[in-house]
Amino acid sequence: MTTTTLAVLVPVLPLLGALAGLALGRVAPGFVRPLAVLPPLAATVLAALVAARQHGGPAINAATELTPTGSVPVELALHLDGFAVVVAVLVAAVATCVQLYSTGYLREDPRYPSYAALVSLFTSAMLLVVYSGDLIVLLVGWEVMGICSYFLVGHYWETPEARSASLKAFLVTKLGDVPFLIGLFALAADTGSFRITRILDAVGSGGLDHPTLIALLLLAGVAGKSAQFPLHIWLPDAMAGPTPVSALIHAATMVAAGVYFVARLLPVFTASAAALVVLAVMAAVTMAGSALAALAQDDIKRVLAYSTIGQLGYMTAALAVADRSAAVFHLLTHGAFKALLFLAAGALIHAAGTNSLTAMARTGALRTRAADAYWTMTVALLALAALPPFSGFFSKEAVLGAAERAAVGHTEAAPVVAGWIVLVAGLATAVLTAAYATRLWLRAFHGQGAERPVHSSQPLVMNVILWVLAAPSLALGLAYGVLGDWFGGASLAPTLTTSVLATGLALVGGLVTYGTWRHTTALAAARPRGPLEPQPESEAEMATEALTGHAPEDGDLAERPDPADPGRLLLGPLHRHAAAGFHLDAAARALFVRPTLAAARLAAFLDREVVDTYVRAGAAVPRLLGAAVRKSQTGNAQTYLTVLLAGALVLAVAAVLVTAAGA
């Protein structure tokens, strides 16, 4: 079987699994789990085989015209270079792990068949984006992911939080997709093709007439899809979906699509120095702001959501200094340890019965009751904090090394100012990342208090998947030399200067947070707040995963200030603003939501009071005439005869007058 045929099967298999799962979900439920797991597993094997055959060699291209347009043709095209084949392996592998994990996590969910089918469709759409060689076909996968995220985030549609979060995610990403679509058509108009290879050839020969405008339009869509400032506000609320969905969205699909798109079309963006500076500023604000917000969150899933935003900021920062190898390398390692973080968090929530770090901090023995989650999450948090030899260290150092080279003027394609912006923001974020990772670990697993009731036992498959993902979270970074072959021979080795700086700063962030935690815990112990009251298990509460940020059984615990939280002391007066995401949601409501609702109310008023008034008036006149005529129909023959004679008399008089006037 040819490499091209294998590549075609990679996105097709999950699609077929999704369709079959939807068709058989009710009539043959026994087939649902095999149909959920086997297609992405087969896609993983095929994607690995495609990557082995390609092995960083010349790109493999294949295309057939999809439909004649009379202008720029649309082609069903494959473009298999080193970046595409490696990212496809990540997507398929993480999707397989998520599907396996979900068989245990959602084993009693009545909507599991539709959930599994949507996850498979989501996976297929991302694989289409990865392998596509035509921008219109890529756009199809891009938009299918958007609609899948709407349904998956809103999986628990009975809760208003899930309904609101799914709608918010859909609308905010669509807000970026509008200029993105305009940018795609402008790019095709300038280059004469939607084929990625032809576009890059045209850009290389100077065939792009409006590089800055096109790049900025495309960046709007990237900011929405990859949750970059200021369109990142949908991602923390998307935690309303099941935890495995969060793992898939954050690790390998959806948010990775924007980064991957820029990496594929990087020459389009490097054609405009202004666009790279804008991208660098966007990445810097995203990195630092999200890290501060993560340090103030109480919901463990929101901490991880803001960490995803920050890590995506590192990827876009690498692209801002024109190094797509570092960006994709960090995408790969982040996909491994972020999937592990979310799935371990799901196991922890499963054991603790709450999302609240405050509640966990007042609960004893979580690290023994959820031992697998404890050890694997420790590995993932060390990778997130970028401490050697964990995978995040190598990929983050590749980003910082690229920024250093750009800052000293060794990268011709990137402005020096972009390099300095990325380098300073990246080092500052390294401190904050280690701080919030340490805070999460201490508060989740080192709580002091009475044990809470065990909600349910951990299915074996959930724990197995955690250990499977722990391996790449620990060791994938060591493959930097091998991955360089797939990335066109690029060097991904850490540089001494940034390695020492970033590692030292990360250690400072972690140790300061630990010392602060010891101090705040001692202060809180001197003023005990009382133990948590044991509560009976609630399957409904567990099913919705404490969508309001903490399980209902914790009462208003997570709403009350916790003096033992080191984040409060570290952030000081900034804590309140960071916990609210620096009020960007409120700003979005003021700038977009309220004016839109006001315009909708005005349109409804005009429709009701103006348009409907004309319609009602048009009907009222005939109705009044009819009523007047109806009153004359009395049924009295004498009245009818009188009216007839009066009418005849009037006609006679009129005839006489007309005759007299004519004479």
Q: What pLDDT, on the 0 to 100 scale, is given for residue 625? A: 81
Residue 545 pLDDT exceeds 90 = no
Q: What pLDDT, on the 0 to 100 scale, is given for residue 413? A: 86
Q: What pLDDT, on the 0 to 100 scale, is given for residue 552? A: 41
d(CA 264, CA 83): 8
Give residue limits of the domains in the chain: 272-529+542-574, 580-632, 636-663
Specify the residue for token string 């097709």.
12
Across all residues in the chain, what is the average pLDDT? 87
DSSP type of residue 536: -
Q: What pLDDT, on the 0 to 100 scale, is given for residue 619? A: 80
d(CA 368, CA 552): 24
Q: What pLDDT, on the 0 to 100 scale, is given for residue 502? A: 93
CA distances to 211, 285, 429 from 281, in Å: 18, 6, 14
Residue 344 pLDDT exceeds 80 = yes
Q: Give the mean model confidence (pLDDT) for residues 423-435.
A: 96
DSSP type of residue 592: I
Pick the residue with more confidence: 14 or 455?
14
Q: What pLDDT, on the 0 to 100 scale, is given for residue 622? A: 84
Give the CA-trace dihedral at 575, 578, 582, 585, to 10 degrees: -120
Residue 497 pLDDT exceeds 80 = yes
User: pLDDT per residue over 59-115, tens digit each?
Assistant: 899 988 877 777 788 888 999 999 999 999 999 999 999 999 999 888 888 889 999
d(CA 493, CA 504): 18
Q: What pLDDT, on the 0 to 100 scale, is given for residue 47? A: 95
Is 227 strand, coil or helix? Answer: coil
Q: What pLDDT, on the 0 to 100 scale, is given for residue 70? A: 73
- Work out whether the CA dihedral 508, 510, 514, 517 comes out positive or negative: positive
Task: Supply the DSSP string of 169-187, one letter for each residue.
Answer: HHHHHHHHHHHHHHHHHHH
Residue 546 pLDDT exceeds 60 = no
Residue 532 pLDDT exceeds 50 = no
Residue 457 pLDDT exceeds 80 = no
Q: What pLDDT, on the 0 to 100 scale, is given for residue 539? A: 32
Q: What pLDDT, on the 0 to 100 scale, is given for residue 470? A: 95
Number of other residues whose CB lies within 10 A of the CB of residue 523: 12
The confidence band for 431, taking pLDDT boundaries of 50, 70 and 90, is: very high
Q: What pLDDT, on the 0 to 100 scale, is given for residue 541? A: 45
Q: Answer yes or no: are the C-beta atoms of 269 and 319 closer than 8 Å.
A: yes
Q: What pLDDT, on the 0 to 100 scale, is given for residue 199? A: 93
Residue 81: phi and psi, rounded to 5, are -110, -175
Residue 207 pLDDT exceeds 80 = no
Is 118 strand, coil or helix? Answer: helix
- Whole-model pTM: value is 0.87
Tokens of 573: 């007066």
Q: What pLDDT, on the 0 to 100 scale, is given for residue 447? A: 78
d(CA 607, CA 595): 18
Q: Give the mean model confidence (pLDDT) for residues 498-519.
A: 93
User: pLDDT per residue over 254-299, tens digit each?
Assistant: 899 999 999 999 999 999 999 999 999 999 999 999 999 999 999 9
User: pLDDT per residue over 361-387, tens digit each?
Assistant: 887 778 888 889 999 999 999 999 999
d(CA 454, CA 477): 37
Q: Answer yes or no: are the C-beta atoms of 280 and 272 closer than 8 Å.
A: no
User: pLDDT per residue over 120-145, tens digit each?
Assistant: 999 999 999 999 999 999 999 999 99
The confidence band for 456, taking pLDDT boundaries of 50, 70 and 90, is: low
Q: Give the mean model confidence (pLDDT) for residues 223-249.
A: 91
Tokens of 543: 């099913």
DSSP type of residue 482: H
- Work out whether the CA dihedral 414, 185, 330, 344 comes out positive or negative: positive
Q: What pLDDT, on the 0 to 100 scale, is given for residue 263? A: 94
Q: Give the mean model confidence (pLDDT) for residues 620-643.
A: 78
Residue 50 pLDDT exceeds 60 = yes
User: pLDDT per residue over 557-599, tens digit each?
Assistant: 445 567 678 889 999 899 999 999 898 988 888 888 889 889 9
